[in-house]
Structure formats: structure tokens, C-alpha cells
């Protein structure tokens, strides 16, 4: 029997969106009339069909029930948590890698004074939260032990302003617990809580919000010819299965953010399919995070127009993601992305 998935599409933003919602010609995403949609794409592993919202009642009963249930989740207002407002689309997550070998900024912020200075700069530039990591998870990177990882980040974590939202980018439960005890408010585990089985119980113990990311294997092997039956739906099923498991073991809070993991076990075709169709994950009822900053797909698409910081590609894909209702963008160049979003919003107002 075919399984059906609902992807909202044909989005409107700004004054056009508010007008269409008022006229009941479009539905608001997360109860926010600044961004809305008037179509859904009904997807199975065999077919895909777009239909206007106003024509949903003409669908066969089985499919109509699925779509209506999904739309109820998609239009429901998201509860804010840890100072993140999901009425504000997008929230900006700045990146602070305190490593010698991260793919883009490895070695730049290894010294404590440089890390603190950059952290302050990211918040001053408009980051709503900052993701701090002490272990590189770029393609081909090797695992480091907890002692090395903790020694890289402990000093900066001890100095964080408790009023700021700090996310900790780690796969290890002992690092998570130490960070939470120092005021970390969000855990970002690129392994999708698969690397360290104790991580789930730490998050349950402290009731800490977290990012659930999809990754195909560990970083050292994840880019070795990654394969999917259907990358978009396989990741959807991964999220759904993982969330059900978390509920079964008693992790019942909804402070979970979904990240499909661009570049984590995906080739160019996979990455493009995910970004183009990212709005399918709204029907899981949780906020979406997208990490597209400076990633390889920008180089692959831009060819001889590639650059070291890939600012242009980051900005264009960030605006595209915002127009698909992505709630959080993880970026290195917070000031430049914020600048582009502010200009865009004024133009479309």
C-alpha cells in the first residue's frame, strides 16, 4: 500500500501573504500570516501531484485525511523555546568552530581570546544563537577523544553570557552534560543521536532542546558513494522513526529541531533535491534547521565562480530556504546573511 507525504508549496511572503491569508486564499505557515502557501504536493514513492488547497476536498478520502492532518500540523503556531521565536523566520544560528581542521574556518579561533571576540561579533551581527564546536565533522574527518574536544571548548563555555542562546555541536554525551551544566541551551548532534547511545538519556535527564540531524554514517566514510532509494522520503522516514523512538523512551518534549544534514552523506543531486523540496519536513510538525553555509554544493554549482567564502551561494540558498519557511539557518557569515534578509524583506514588504 502506498504511503503519502504532504509537501506545502507555492509560498507567499510579506504583504502579499498577509493579503491572501486575510482573503482565505492561502494558509499561514505556523500560524504566521507573513508567510503562507496555497498548494500542496502529494508525494509517494511512485508519484507526485500538486493541488491547490481549495481543491483538497476533491481528493479520495484516504489521501484527503492524510493531507488535512498534515496541514493541521503545518499551520499550527510553533511554541517558542530558549528565546527562539518561530514567528521570526528565519532565526540565524552563527557558527564558531574551535578546531584546527574544520572545512571552512579551521584554526581561526583556536585561541580563547579570538574565540570570545568572534562569539561577541556573531551576536552583535544579529545571531539569535551560536553553535560552538570542538570537533570537526567535515567529510573525511577522524574522531577525536572527549578530553581533546573538551579542552578546546571549556574556556569559552565558562565565559558565556547566560542570557545568550548557546548551542553545542557535539556527538558525545559526556561533552553534552558538561556543556549543559555550564549553561548550554541547545545540543546539536550531527549523528542524529546515533553515535553515542547515552546522549538520548542525557537529553532526557536535563530536558534539553536539541537538533536532530540526518547523517549517513560517520564523517570519515559518509561521502563514500552515498545511496538512497529516495533521499527526500528516506530522510523523512528517518525523522519519523527517530521521533517515535524518543517518545517511547519518555523524551516527550517538543523542543526538537530537524536538520536534513546537507553534505552529510549526500552528493550534489541529493543536496539539491533536499533544498528544493525542504518544505516537506514541515509536515512533521517541528522547526527545520538548514546548514548550507560555504558548503561544497555551492562550488559544484558555481564552477569557475567559486570563492573561498562562497558568500553569494550561501546568501542565495539562505533566501530560498527562508521562502520555504525554514525556521533556522546555520551560517558562518551572520552579518552578510542578515544584511541580505533585511534588504529582501524590505523589497517584498
* Three-class DSSP category at 102: coil
Cβ neighbours for 113, distance < 8 A, ≥ 6 positions apart? none
- CA–CA dist 220, 344 (Å, integer): 38
SS in 3 state form for 210-276? EEEECCCCCCCCCCCCCCCCCHHHHHHHHHHHHHHHHHHCCCCCCCEEEECCCCCCCCHHHHHHHHH
- CA–CA dist 262, 137 (Å, integer): 12
User: Catalytic amino acids?
Assistant: 295, 330
Sequence-ordered strand ranges (E) for the chain: 5-13, 27-29, 32-43, 48-52, 91-97, 129-133, 166-169, 186-189, 210-213, 256-259, 289-291, 328-331
Residues recorded for the chain: 349
And the C-alpha cell for 194?
546515533
Q: Encode 233-261: b = buried (16+ Cβ within 10 Å), e = exposed.
A: bebbebbeebbeebeeeebeeebbbbbbb
HSE of 1 in the Cβ direction (CA atoms, 13 Å)? 2
- Burial class of residue 99 (count of CB atoms within 10 Å of its CB; 0-12, 13-18, 19+): buried
- CA–CA dist 28, 31 (Å, integer): 5
- CA–CA dist 131, 224 (Å, integer): 27
- CB-CB neighbours of 111 under 10 Å: 12
Amino acid at each position: 500500500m502506498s504511503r503519502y507525504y504532504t509537501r506545502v508549496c507555492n509560498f507567499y511572503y510579506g504583504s502579499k501573504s498577509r493579503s491572501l491569508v486575510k482573503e482565505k486564499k492561502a494558509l499561514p505557515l505556523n500560524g504566521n500570516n507573513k508567510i503562507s502557501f496555497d498548494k500542496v504536493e502529494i508525494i509517494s514513492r511512485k508519484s507526485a501531484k500538486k493541488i491547490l488547497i481549495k481543491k483538497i476536498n476533491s481528493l479520495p478520502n484516504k489521501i484527503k485525511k492524510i493531507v488535512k492532518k498534515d496541514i493541521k500540523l503545518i499551520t499550527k503556531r510553533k511554541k517558542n523555546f530558549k528565546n527562539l521565536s518561530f514567528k521570526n523566520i528565519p532565526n540565524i544560528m552563527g557558527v564558531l568552530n574551535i578546531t584546527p581542521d574544520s572545512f571552512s574556518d579551521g584554526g581561526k579561533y583556536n585561541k580563547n581570546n579570538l574565540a570570545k571576540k568572534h562569539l561577541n561579533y556573531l551576536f552583535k551581527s544579529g545571531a539569535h544563537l551560536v553553535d560552538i564546536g570542538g570537533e570537526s565533522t567535515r567529510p573525511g574527518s577522524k574522531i577525536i577523544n572527549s578530553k581533546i574536544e573538551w579542552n578546546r571548548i571549556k574556556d569559552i563555555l565558562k565565559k558565556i553570557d547566560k542570557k545568550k542562546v548557546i548551542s553545542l555541536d557535539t556527538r558525545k554525551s559526556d561533552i553534552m552534560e558538561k556543556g549543559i551544566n555550564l549553561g548550554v541551551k541547545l545540543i546539536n548532534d550531527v549523528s542524529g543521536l546515533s553515535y553515542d547511545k547515552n546522549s538520548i538519556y542525557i537529553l532526557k535527564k536535563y530536558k534539553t532542546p536539541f537538533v536532530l540531524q540526518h547523517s549517513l554514517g560517520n564523517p570519515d566514510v559518509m561521502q563514500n558513494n552515498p545511496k538512497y532509494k529516495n533521499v527526500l522520503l528516506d530522510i523523512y522516514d528517518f525523522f519519523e522513526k527517530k521521533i517515535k523512538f524518543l517518545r517511547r523512551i519518555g523524551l516527550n518534549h517538543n523542543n526538537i529541531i530537524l536538520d536534513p544534514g546537507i553534505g552529510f552523506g549526500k552528493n550534489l543531486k541529493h543536496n539539491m533535491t533536499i533544498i528544493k523540496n525542504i518544505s516537506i519536513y514541515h509536515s512533521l510538525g517541528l522547526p527545520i534547521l538548514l546548514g548550507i553555509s560555504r558548503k561544497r554544493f555551492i562550488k559544484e554549482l558555481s564552477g569557475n565562480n567559486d570563492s573561498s567564502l562562497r558568500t553569494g551561494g550561501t546568501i542565495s540558498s539562505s533566501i530560498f530556504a527562508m521562502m520555504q519557511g525554514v525556521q533556522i539557518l546555520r551560517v558562518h557569515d551572520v552579518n552578510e546573511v542578515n544584511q541580505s534578509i533585511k534588504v529582501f524583506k524590505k523589497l517584498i514588504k
